[in-house]
Structure 1
């Protein structure tokens, strides 16, 4: 899909696969591509479109390790062979640990529409990793990479372009209206999958909120840009989820029955991983055995 300029020299193109956003930030010294789509074949036309924007690609940034964000890097390396690939250090470790197994599993799934593409995809490991903050100098502007904490995954990062008051939030913020069963009232539920961190996610979004002004444009990993109020609403909903896990555990409700007994801010059928992960993250003192 074509790139749309959402702020001065910041372009976003939602992709048909997973409605994932590929973003480009341009400066005098070149362009930074943020996320690359889900396979080499899916990313190849994206790289072609990026080549039509003003400047050369001087960096690729991966917001987290999941396939729809990280598996298309090889298409950019094919066109810009020396381009560095940036990621937070935990995301790089997660890609190394789970990426190839995920690719092979999806490629072998007869129900996976993109199986052949995934079978032909070669994963590219990030070669520029950081812990908390990194800065990319584009000459007339800087691009900040910030790891606000764990949430959707352990290695999420957000990209801040301060001169235009814009943040690329990755999957720490969700909006997509194409999420199907993961949609409530037309807005997607945050991706609470098997590697999420539901107890940490609210405080992680508190850090993100500290980066935002009332006028900040926030581009989520999927869907159209949103504002600070949208981010705050999702933070509060995730806070309710985290508090419900803590309350149930403190009341002696075990993880196997918590999903059925809790009052959740999101549809129950989407929360099995989140509840399990929440219980696993509790300290020993956060759980009580039933008295009966």
Structure 2
């Protein structure tokens, strides 16, 4: 569980719970913590590892999007390190409380052994928001924050550390499982969003996904292609008049179909559907 340095003063803690990545970027002014984990208890585990790392104190937090496994440690880090600014997109910050309360309600009846932690956590949204780009100045280096478009959520951001060619992608990219297409995802827009992310990468870039091992540009290209196949297939099925409840059984998919129900639902709510017609004599 300790932080691993993947580039000069860029560390990643790959936590067993959710196989989640918490990233830290160091500079002469302190540390930026990217994503804070899924509960106050998990955040205290992150803080313990930060203290073992012993490379300075956090001066800022970044949430890559609003989901609880990336934001529920916010309040705990603020209590440990005074009043840190929390950076996120406008959309993510606006949705953090409602998204968090919804997951807490779901966990009230869950048999997950860590459910009580999630329910007991205080939700704290970001207070430094932006719509397109922002920069955190660490003195001798900068952390660039970019909202490349909608994909996993409506408010995804990526954090770029340009001097070492590292990009922290949040759940726009996942390595240990197929991309999570949820009820708040944008499957038709996700490939174009990743096209913009690819524009921030070089052939040598290291990419930290939201979950799983650090990957390279080629992995991002391949996942982008798979998501594009999903989007194009959904457009084709809708244009052919295939009913929504028959879509998953009517095509080949790059991901397991049990993870694509929300993709179909979200896409069909946005796409015009043709009506099946008898052939004219």
Q: Same fold (TM over 0.5)?
A: yes
Q: Which moved more, 1:47-56 or 1:121-130?
A: 47-56
Give the ranges of 4+ consecutive aligned residues of structure 1 lying more than 4 Å apart after TM superposition: none
- Aligned pair in 2 of structure 1 residues 119, 268: CA closer, same or farther (>3 Å)? closer
CA RMSD of aligned residues (A): 1.1
Over residues 182-203 of structure 1, what are the superposed CA-to-partner deviations in whole Å (9 max), with x where a residue is unaligned? xxxxxx2111121111000000
Q: CA deviation at 1:278?
A: 1.1
Match of 2:92 in 1: 91
The count of corresponding residues between Structure 1 and Structure 2 is: 277
Over residues 120-170 of structure 1, what are the superposed CA-to-partner deviations in whole Å (9 max), with x where a residue is unaligned? 210111110110100000000000010001111111110000000000010
> Is the aligned partner of 1:103 residue 2:89?
no
Q: CA deviation at 1:270?
A: 1.5
Q: Is the 8 A contact 2:58 2:81 kept in 1?
A: yes
The 3-state SS of whatever aligns with 2:18 is coil
The 3-state SS of whatever aligns with 2:41 is helix
TM-score normalised according to structure 2 size: 0.96
Q: Which moved more, 1:239-248 or 1:94-103?
A: 94-103
Q: Is the 8 A contact 2:205 2:216 kept in 1?
A: yes
Match of 1:209 in 2: 198
The 3-state SS of whatever aligns with 1:218 is strand
Distance in 1, Cα, partners of 2:2 & 2:168: 18
Q: CA deviation at 1:78?
A: 1.2
Q: CA deviation at 1:48?
A: 2.3
Q: Is the 8 A contact 2:67 2:99 kept in 1?
A: no
Q: Give matches, 1:98-177, under 5 Å.
A: 98-106=99-107, 108-176=108-176
The 3-state SS of whatever aligns with 1:13 is strand
> Is the aligned partner of 1:289 residue 2:275?
yes
Q: Which moved more, 1:188-197 or 1:159-168?
A: 188-197
Match of 1:64 in 2: 65
Q: CA deviation at 1:51?
A: 3.0
Distance in 2, Cα, partners of 1:216 & 1:82: 33
Q: CA deviation at 1:20?
A: 0.3
Distance in 1, Cα, partners of 2:180 & 2:8: 30
Distance in 2, Cα, partners of 1:87 & 1:170: 12
Over residues 221-264 of structure 1, what are the superposed CA-to-partner deviations in whole Å (9 max), with x where a residue is unaligned? 11111110000000000000000000011111121211111221
Q: Is the 8 A contact 2:68 2:99 kept in 1?
A: no
Q: CA deviation at 1:268?
A: 1.4
Over residues 78-120 of structure 1, what are the superposed CA-to-partner deviations in whole Å (9 max), with x where a residue is unaligned? 11121011111111122133211212321x1232221111122
> Is the aligned partner of 1:238 residue 2:227?
yes
TM-score normalised according to structure 1 size: 0.92
Q: CA deviation at 1:280?
A: 1.3
> Is the aligned partner of 1:224 residue 2:220?
no
Match of 2:36 in 1: 36
Q: Is the 8 A contact 2:157 2:170 kept in 1?
A: yes
> Is the aligned partner of 1:26 residue 2:26?
yes
> Is the aligned partner of 1:16 residue 2:25?
no
Match of 2:244 in 1: 255
Q: CA deviation at 1:7?
A: 0.4
Match of 1:185 in 2: none
Q: Is the 8 A contact 1:104 1:118 kept in 2?
A: no
Q: CA deviation at 1:24?
A: 0.3
Q: CA deviation at 1:19?
A: 0.5
> Is the aligned partner of 1:266 residue 2:255?
yes
Q: Is the 8 A contact 2:237 2:247 kept in 1?
A: yes
Match of 1:80 in 2: 81
Q: Is the 8 A contact 1:73 1:124 kept in 2?
A: yes
The 3-state SS of whatever aligns with 1:23 is strand
